[in-house]
């Protein structure tokens, strides 16, 4: 995405009142145009047009994450011939980054775009619909949700909070994070304060560190001030945009915590039930379009950003040692098992964990036989 188009989107958001997605001149990039405020408790219906207010967890004018909801809004606008319009609000414009769920549940917003593991305080089961340590890749989680019974379980869980949710974005495999010091051994995790939400944060704690679940807009300042000594965020594209390399120059891979992080659109259930079947179908299709497009975009942009980090900023990616990864793997499996089926897990979390684990374990053989073996062969032939 050209920086000009990202800034245009951010400028529109900064004016207040939300934005409605349109296309730029290249017919590919969603940019925005300002529209008038609608009353809370929408959809606001004017002359046959239904207007929805979407709260998001993402900083304004942010590449990738901030564009996913705009793509969703644009697709819904186009499919409905403008009858369904979504006003997208960046984090802090309508509600705070981590308040999207409550706003949508109560009707203060009609929709959200965020990561489901932000809601694990509501139910542990939500984490399985974003990512868990040693969990599914992007392709695998799509298989489970769309064909393996995951969506039906998610519907049951979300309905308890007056929400209907769908995947509407995926960042692909995320990196291990940025560190102020080299991570040579497991001892280096002891006492380390790292930004890592979700179950990945619990893995860091069991390795002897401290984990903080900061929203994206607060990470850089926390690194700069020393509140944290390390952070994960997404991958090269988004990490470069935040400039983490200036404060924590050691960039590690692979990430264990989010092997295929899925993002979601949640719709207030009363709003959802008030839509026609065709309107519901258009929302589902717009979510799927945003989901598919984002994975391709992240693959493309991460590759470019990694080269920029190497060539322009002197960042040489580091790789966790085998000893570190083996222990992280052991602890991750322990954490997810405790979380999903331990004595504190409720009945629906246990069912979702069982479904997730069954799907993950059944997919492992094919993923290793196909992608795993191929990537190793390509690396051997072409070099790292």
Q: What is the pLDDT of residues 156-175, one digit of tens each?
A: 999 999 999 999 999 999 99
Within a domain: residue 358? Answer: no
| pLDDT higher than 70, residue 196 | yes
Span 129-150, average pLDDT: 97
> Residue 170: enclosing H or E segment and its boundaries?
strand 163-170
Residue where a domain stops, chosen among 273, 301, 329:
301
Task: Give pLDDT, residue 86.
Answer: 97
Q: Give the CATH number, domain containing residue 80.
A: 3.40.190.170
| pLDDT higher than 90, residue 198 | no
79 shares its domain with 195: no
Compute, in degrees rounded to 10, the torsion defined by CA atoms 63, 69, 75, 81. -120
Planar angle of CA 328, 333, 261, nearest 5 degrees = 80
- Per the listing, tokens 């995926």 go with 170
Within a domain: residue 381? Answer: no
| pLDDT higher than 80, residue 7 | no
Record the tokens describing residue 353, joined without a space: 């964990």
Task: Give pLDDT, residue 45.
Answer: 67
Within a domain: residue 128? Answer: yes
194 shares its domain with 65: no
Instruction: Quote the percentage of the chain above a pLDDT of 90.
Output: 83
The β-bridge relationship of strands 84-89 and 19-23 is antiparallel
- Give me the numbers of helices (H) and strands (E) for the chain, helices first please: 13, 14
Span 123-145, average pLDDT: 96
Per residue in 268-279, pLDDT (tens digit) is 999 999 999 999
| pLDDT higher than 90, residue 44 | no
Span 296-306, average pLDDT: 97
Within a domain: residue 290? Answer: yes
Span 233-255, average pLDDT: 96
Residue 207 in contact with residue 53, Cβ under 8 Å? no
253 shares its domain with 335: yes
178 shares its domain with 155: no
141 shares its domain with 218: no
| pLDDT higher than 70, residue 17 | no
Task: Give pLDDT, residue 310.
Answer: 97
Out of 10-19, 103-112, 140-149, 168-177, which region has the weakest mean confidence (pLDDT)?
10-19
Record the tokens describing residue 38, joined without a space: 């609608």
Buried b (16+ CB within 10 A) or exposed e, 39-55: eeebbbeeeeebbbbbb
Task: Give pLDDT, residue 41.
Answer: 45
329 or 13, greater pLDDT: 329
Query: Is the four-CA dihedral 208, 213, 219, 222 of positive or negative sign?
Result: negative
Within a domain: residue 250? Answer: yes
How many whole angstroms separate alpha carbon 272 and alpha carbon 282?
12
Q: How far is CA 355 from the centre of its chain?
A: 21
How many whole angstroms separate alpha carbon 222 and alpha carbon 250?
17
Per residue in 112-121, pLDDT (tens digit) is 999 999 999 9
Q: Give the CATH number, domain containing residue 225.
A: 3.40.190.10
Planar angle of CA 197, 203, 205, nearest 5 degrees = 85
Axis crossing angle, helix 322-341 with helix 347-367, rounded to the nearest 10:
140
Q: How far is CA 212 from the centre of its chain?
A: 17
Q: What are the distances in angstroms from CA 131 to CA 123, 264, 315?
A: 14, 12, 27
User: What global pTM score does this model have?
Assistant: 0.85
224 shares its domain with 90: no
27 shares its domain with 151: yes
208 shares its domain with 333: yes
Per residue in 19-36, pLDDT (tens digit) is 454 434 443 445 443 443
Within a domain: residue 134? Answer: yes
Burial of 347 (0-12, 13-18, 19+ CB in 10 A): exposed
Task: Give pLDDT, residue 2.
Answer: 38
Closest by CA to 116, choosing from 293, 356, 332, is: 356
13 or 293, greater pLDDT: 293
Per residue in 45-97, pLDDT (tens digit) is 667 899 999 999 998 878 999 999 999 999 999 999 999 999 999 999 999 99
Within a domain: residue 310? Answer: no
Residue 174 in contact with residue 231, Cβ under 8 Å? no
129 shares its domain with 23: yes
Residue where a domain stops, chosen among 239, 274, 301:
301
How many whole angstroms separate alpha carbon 324 and alpha carbon 304?
28
Closest by CA to 75, choosing from 6, 15, 20, is: 20
> Residue 46: enclosing H or E segment and its boundaries?
strand 44-46
Task: Give pLDDT, residue 46.
Answer: 67
154 or 40, greater pLDDT: 154
117 shares its domain with 221: no
Domain interval for residue 40: 3-170+263-301
Closest by CA to 255, choosing from 171, 161, 175, is: 175
Cα separation of the two ends of the chain: 27
- How many domains does the structure of the chain reveal? 2
Compute, in degrees rounded to 10, the torsion defined by CA atoms 6, 9, 13, 17. -170
State the average pLDDT for the chain.
Answer: 89
Task: Give pLDDT, residue 43.
Answer: 66
Within a domain: residue 349? Answer: no
79 shares its domain with 26: yes
235 shares its domain with 329: yes
Per residue in 363-383, pLDDT (tens digit) is 999 999 999 999 999 999 998
Task: Give pLDDT, residue 47.
Answer: 75
Record the tokens describing residue 48, joined without a space: 């046959």
């Amino acid at each position: 995405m050209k920086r000009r188009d990202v800034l245009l989107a951010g400028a529109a958001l900064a004016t207040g009142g939300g934005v409605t997605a349109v296309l730029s001149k290249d017919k590919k990039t969603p940019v925005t145009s300002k529209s008038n405020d609608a009353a809370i408790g929408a959809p606001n219906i004017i002359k046959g047009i239904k207007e929805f207010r979407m709260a998001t967890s993402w900083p304004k004018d942010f590449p990738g994450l901030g564009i996913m909801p705009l793509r969703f809004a644009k697709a819904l606008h186009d499919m409905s011939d403008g009858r369904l319009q979504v006003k997208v609000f960046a984090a802090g414009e309508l509600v705070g980054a981590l308040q999207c769920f409550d706003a949508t549940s109560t009707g203060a917003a009609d929709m959200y775009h965020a990561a489901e593991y932000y809601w694990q305080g509501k139910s542990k089961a939500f984490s399985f619909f974003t990512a868990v340590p040693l969990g599914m890749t992007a392709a695998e989680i799509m298989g489970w949700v769309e064909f393996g019974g995951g969506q039906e379980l998610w519907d049951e869980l979300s309905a308890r909070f007056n929400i209907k949710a769908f995947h509407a974005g995926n960042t692909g495999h995320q990196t291990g994070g940025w560190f102020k010091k080299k991570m040579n051994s497991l001892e280096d995790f002891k006492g380390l304060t790292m930004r890592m939400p979700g179950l990945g944060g619990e893995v860091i704690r069991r390795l002897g560190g401290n984990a903080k679940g900061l929203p994206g807009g607060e990470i850089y300042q926390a690194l700069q001030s020393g509140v944290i000594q390390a952070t994960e965020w997404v991958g090269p594209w988004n990490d470069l945009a935040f400039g983490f390399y200036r404060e924590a120059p050691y960039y590690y891979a692979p990430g264990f915590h989010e092997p295929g992080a899925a993002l979601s659109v949640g719709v207030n259930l009363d709003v959802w039930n008030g839509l026609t079947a065709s309107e519901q179908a258009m929302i589902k299709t717009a979510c799927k379009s945003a989901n598919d497009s984002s994975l391709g975009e992240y693959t493309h942009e991460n590759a470019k950003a990694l080269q920029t980090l190497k060539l322009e900023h002197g960042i040489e990616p580091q790789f966790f040692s085998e000893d570190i990864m083996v222990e992280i793997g052991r602890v991750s499996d322990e954490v997810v098992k405790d979380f999903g089926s331990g004595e504190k897990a409720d009945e629906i979390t246990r069912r979702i964990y069982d479904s997730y684990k069954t799907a993950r374990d059944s997919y492992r053989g094919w993923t290793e036989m196909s992608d795993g073996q191929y990537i190793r062969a390509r690396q051997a032939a072409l070099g790292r």
